[in-house]
């Protein structure tokens, strides 16, 4: 299982002062040096954290890969096509939300999602769809021509009992299995942390996890390099 790190929170801290620091691009470099397999950032329509400058610099400087989270908004798609990240992950986006709250409804937005994937493919950008672990959504994701899916793990992360966590884990396991059966790459993320990653990493059909909050939060106390290394140690130990 590969680890990609979402650096949005570093940009959020920078924006709190409207100044230049901390720089999410520097954070990305440290994550790479610590062994991360890629960097994720979300260029939001309201630019509340990551900026166009960040995405351009990340694209130039990263040695691993850039996964750009984005909506299907035309302006954002145009920027993605110009910058050319290795991967674009389409997510639903609401102005009021604190973070992405759920998976993309591929079934209800079939045409728009399909057109966006085609446009990104024209620019040789691989596409992933962030979706809930629901078989019909996974089938729709495959039908619409995505290369990968990212399974939303929020319900697993928010489970209030062990039984619920086990149930959610099983839903994710089945979803990952279906994704593989449909020949899709299978990523996962949202709310994963240093505890819930332990049972989670047993799901062998998941190629990559995307983790932000838990790693950046820990980094405040132990430093970013240590926080990344600790997560890598957990993911890679058997």
Please identify every residue annotated as catalytic: 42, 69, 190
The answer to whether residue 211 forms part of the interface with ligand PXP (CB under 6 A) is yes
Residues in the interface with ligand PXP (CB under 6 A) total: 19
- Smallest separation, CB 127 to ligand PXP (Å): 13
The answer to whether residue 99 forms part of the interface with ligand PXP (CB under 6 A) is yes
The answer to whether residue 69 forms part of the interface with ligand PXP (CB under 6 A) is yes
Stretch that binds ligand PXP, among 11-19, 71-79, 204-212, 226-234 (CB under 6 A): 204-212
Q: Is the peptide bond before 22 cis (omega within 30 degrees of 0)?
A: yes
- Looking at the DSSP bridge assignments, the partners of residue 2 are 208
Q: Which of 39, 58, 62, 91 binds ligand PXP (CB under 6 A)?
A: 91
- Residue with Cβ nearer ligand PXP (96 or 122): 96
Query: Residue 138: left if φ>0, alpha if ψ -120 to 50, beta else—which one?
Result: alpha
Q: Which of 6, 71, 116, 142 binds ligand PXP (CB under 6 A)?
A: 6
Q: Which of 32, 191, 196, 208 binds ligand PXP (CB under 6 A)?
A: 191
Cβ neighbours of 152 (radius 10 Å): 26
Q: Which residues contact 212 (CB under 8 A, 6 or more apart)?
A: 5, 6, 7, 8, 9, 40
Residue 121: phi, psi to the nearest 5?
-65, -35
Residue 103, SS3? coil
The answer to whether residue 100 forms part of the interface with ligand PXP (CB under 6 A) is yes
The answer to whether residue 219 forms part of the interface with ligand PXP (CB under 6 A) is no
- Smallest separation, CB 132 to ligand PXP (Å): 11
- Residue with Cβ nearer ligand PXP (40 or 122): 40
- Smallest separation, CB 149 to ligand PXP (Å): 11
Beta strand 185-189 with 126-131 is unpaired
The answer to whether residue 190 forms part of the interface with ligand PXP (CB under 6 A) is yes
Q: Where are the alpha helices (DSSP H) in the chain?
A: 8-17, 24-33, 52-61, 74-83, 110-122, 135-143, 154-157, 162-181, 197-200, 213-222, 224-236
Q: Which residues contact 220 (CB under 8 A, 6 or more apart)?
A: none
Task: Give the Cα separation of 211 and 182 in Å (integer).
Answer: 25
- Residue with Cβ nearer ligand PXP (6 or 137): 6
Give residues in contact with ligand PXP (CB under 6 A).
6, 8, 42, 69, 89, 91, 99-100, 130, 150, 189-192, 210-214
């Amino acid at each position: 299982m590969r680890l990609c790190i979402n650096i949005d929170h570093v940009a959020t801290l920078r924006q709190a002062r409207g100044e230049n620091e901390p720089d999410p691009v520097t954070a990305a470099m440290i994550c790479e040096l610590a062994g991360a397999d890629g960097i994720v950032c979300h260029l939001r329509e309201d630019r509340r954290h990551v900026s166009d400058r960040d995405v351009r610099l990340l694209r130039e400087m990263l040695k691993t890969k850039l996964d750009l989270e984005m909506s299907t908004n035309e302006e954002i798609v145009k920027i993605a096509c110009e910058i050319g990240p290795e991967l674009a992950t389409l997510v639903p986006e609401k102005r009021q939300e604190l973070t992405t709250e759920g998976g993309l409804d591929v079934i209800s937005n079939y045409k728009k999602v399909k057109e966006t994937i085609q446009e990104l493919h024209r620019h040789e950008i691989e596409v992933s769809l962030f979706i809930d672990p629901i078989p019909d959504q996974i089938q729709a994701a495959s039908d619409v021509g995505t290369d990968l899916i990212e399974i939303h793990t929020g319900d697993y992360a928010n489970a209030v009992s062990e039984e619920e966590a086990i149930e959610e884990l099983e839903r994710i396991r089945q979803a990952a299995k279906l994704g593989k059966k449909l020949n899709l790459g299978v990523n996962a993320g949202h709310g994963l942390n240093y505890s819930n990653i332990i049972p989670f990493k047993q799901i062998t059909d998941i190629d990559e996890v995307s983790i932000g909050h838990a790693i950046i939060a820990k980094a405040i106390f132990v430093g970013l390099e240590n926080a990344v290394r600790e997560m890598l140690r957990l993911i890679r130990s058997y």
